[in-house]
Amino acid sequence: MSEKKPAFWLRVFAILAYTYIYFPILILIIFSFNTQKINVRWEGFTLHWYDVLFHDSNVLLAVRNTLMIACVSTLVATVIGTLAALALQRYRFPGYTAAESALYIPVIVPEVVMGISLLAFFVMVGLKLGLATIALSHIAFNIPFVTLVVRARLHGFDKSIEEASMDLGANEMTTFWRVTLPTIMPGVLSGALLAFTLSLDDYVITYFTAGPGATTLPLRVFSMVRFAVTPEVNALSTLWVFTIFVVLLASQVIQRRQEHH
Amino acid sequence: MSNIQTGKPALTRFSLRKILRENPTAQGLALISPTAIYLLLFMVLPMILVVLLSFMTRGPYGNVVYRVNVQNYARLADPLYLRILVFSLGVGAATTVFTILIGYPLAYFIARTPARHRSFLLFLILLPFWTNFIIRIYAWIMILRTEGFLNSVLLHMGVINVPLNILYTPTAVLIAMVYEFLPFMVLPLYTSLEKIENAQLEAAADLGARPWRTFLRVTLPLSVPGMIAGSILVFIPAMGMFVVPDLMGGAKTILIGNLIRNQFLVSRDWPFGAAASMLLLILTLVFTLLYTRKAGFGEELLV
């Protein structure tokens, strides 16, 4: 599209739109430092709510659970999702179309339906709902996303470098570890990053598969928000937003670097 | 042959290794099988279970009785549930319209800025949406509630005398939904707007079309695929959403997502909940198929 300078009204609109996108988050952050509890107006600066947060054992437990589930589900989904991407990109086999269309299930099926289907499945099979069922569910919705991302990156992969490696006497395993994997690594990493964030962020499917005992950070935030508006939630949100911003900026910088090399 | 090169004795018995080494079909199957088995077990099987459940009967204690029954579907035609369905479609449609109204000019703006700024501007749109969506809902609760930010500013400025009651109304739900789903509209719109060739716009201008006419006759039609893709990405999840109505809608705002959740976790009528899920799923598939028929499975849907 044209690179002419956008019209004046369009620039005004864009500024308003970006304000709309960032304003709620800004409010959230500002009032995490407010001394007043009901957080209507600014009363004074404090770090009290962060102190409350760091001594909230429920939140700390939820953070631990969330990170554990995110790490496990990312690891498993990335490994087997990458294998599936390799299979779909390079081989033809019976059931190819079925496997390919199965990847679109979590893209198309509404989250609430996936949530209740997993709940019904775990109950009928007799698995006790808890951290394990959450992790199993997260792996399930993460695999297709990893496969789709890695497959997109595999698209431009030059097979001749693998052939060169084999011609030089390396066997399949060595070729895979020394040539194939390093080449597709950026794709695998962005698939893993997506899986990690999806797992960290998931509320709906976690809600249905958690059972009464287990809690994750989104579940914890939900019950805090439902209970009352307290600056402790603001403090938690601020830290969360900050963490995500740092991770994303870092991944952008790394990507830029790789592209420049 | 590798065993001649390495001098190892030839394997005469059945060897999985050998088959894997020499047969590409077997290699492909080996690579796909972990994913295939996992998704079969934890995605396809549960979905089949829901289909079966929707034809079962609720027992007296909220258990499931294995007696075939189509009453669950008949019950969905009850005016009470039809209203919920119509309301869900309405909320989904309204969310879609508002995300287009805000998202279109925004996507158009990004597509017209110099190429080197575009990815940063897109990144800025995505950034807040990588944070947890319950946190974003909470931010709007802080702003909209009776003692919230909006009311205290308006009261302070003397615009209003009595605080506005926005939270716990359908309006609040709509505000939060539009906020949640905006990027899903902006990205596909941007993808299709960015692809429009300069030459096409210049041709229109050379032929004497005024800018607004060029927009209506050239730009707008060419961006329709992006708009449809965005609408699918916004409409379908908005229709099934139950978290936003839970936190911001008050007791009266019940969408089909809330209905399904309630049947499974509150009233414990799994068969009826499964039937409602099937309805939502069928609606979703119909809308997706309509789209793919119209435009093909475009790259817009997969940004």
- Give domain status of residue B246, yes or no: yes
A258: confidence class by pLDDT, cuts 50, 70, 90: low
Tokens at A197, concatenated? 């964030």
> Are A105 and B39 inside 8 Å of each other by CB?
yes
With beta carbons less than 8 A apart as the criterion, state whether A141 and B29 touch: no
Residue B302 has pLDDT above 70, yes or no: no
What are the φ and ψ backbone dihedral angles of B65, each rounded to 5 degrees? -100, 135
pLDDT in tens, A126-176: 999 999 999 999 999 999 999 998 988 887 777 777 778 878 877 777 888
Residue A36 has pLDDT above 80, yes or no: no
Tokens at B47, concatenated? 């979905």
| Helices first, then strands: H and E counts in chain B | 17, 2
Average pLDDT over residues A47-67: 90
> Are B38 and A143 inside 8 Å of each other by CB?
yes
CA distance B177 to B172: 9
- Within 8 A of B109 by CB-CB distance, chain A residues are 6, 10-11, 13-14
With beta carbons less than 8 A apart as the criterion, state whether A258 and A186 touch: yes
CA distance B161 to B117: 44
Q: What is the ipTM of this complex?
A: 0.87
> Are B138 and A113 inside 8 Å of each other by CB?
no
Q: Point out which residues pair with A45 in neighbouring strands.
A: A34
| CA B205 to each of CA A26, A87, B219, B220: distance values in angstroms, whole numbers, following the listed order | 42, 49, 12, 15
pLDDT in tens, B177-220: 999 999 999 999 998 888 887 777 777 777 777 777 878 887 88
DSSP assignment string, B82-135: HHHHHHHHHHHHHHHHHHHHHHHHHHHHHHHS-HHHHHHHHHHHHGGGGS-HHH
With beta carbons less than 8 A apart as the criterion, state whether B233 and B188 touch: yes
> Are A10 and B198 inside 8 Å of each other by CB?
no
Tell me the shortest Cα–Cα distance from A100 to chain B, in angstroms: 10
- Within 8 A of A118 by CB-CB distance, chain B residues are 42, 46
- Give domain status of residue B41, yes or no: no
Chain A window 13-72: which residues touch B at a Cβ cutoff of 8 Å?
13-14, 17-18, 20-22, 24-25, 27-28, 31, 38-41
CA distance B168 to B253: 8
What's the structural domain count of chain B?
1
CATH of the domain at B117: 1.10.3720.10
List all residues 6 or more positions away from B220 whose beta carbon is below 8 Å from its beta carbon. none
With beta carbons less than 8 A apart as the criterion, state whether B79 and B296 touch: no
Q: Point out which residues pair with B58 in neighbouring strands.
A: B64
Tell me the shortest Cα–Cα distance from B29 to chain A, in angstroms: 6
Residue B26 has pLDDT above 70, yes or no: yes
pLDDT in tens, B112-158: 888 888 888 988 898 887 778 898 999 999 899 888 888 888 888 88
Range of the domain at B163: 87-199+227-295
Chain B window 267-296: which residues touch A at a Cβ cutoff of 8 Å?
270, 273-274, 277, 280-281, 284-285, 288
Extract long-range pairs of B167-170: CB within 8 Å, 24+ residues apart: B167/B141, B167/B248, B167/B250, B168/B248, B168/B249, B168/B250, B169/B249, B169/B250, B169/B253, B170/B91, B170/B249, B170/B252, B170/B253
Tokens at A23, concatenated? 């304003």
Domain boundaries, chain A: 56-260
This prediction's pTM: 0.86
| pLDDT score for A1 | 55
CATH 1.10.3720.10 correct for A56-260: yes
What are the φ and ψ backbone dihedral angles of A34, each rounded to 5 degrees? -90, 140
Tokens at A240, concatenated? 């969360």
Tell me the shortest Cα–Cα distance from B252 to chain A, in angstroms: 16
H or E element: which one contains B64?
A: strand B64-65
| pLDDT score for B300 | 46
| pLDDT score for A260 | 61
| pLDDT score for A40 | 64
Residue A47 has pLDDT above 90, yes or no: no
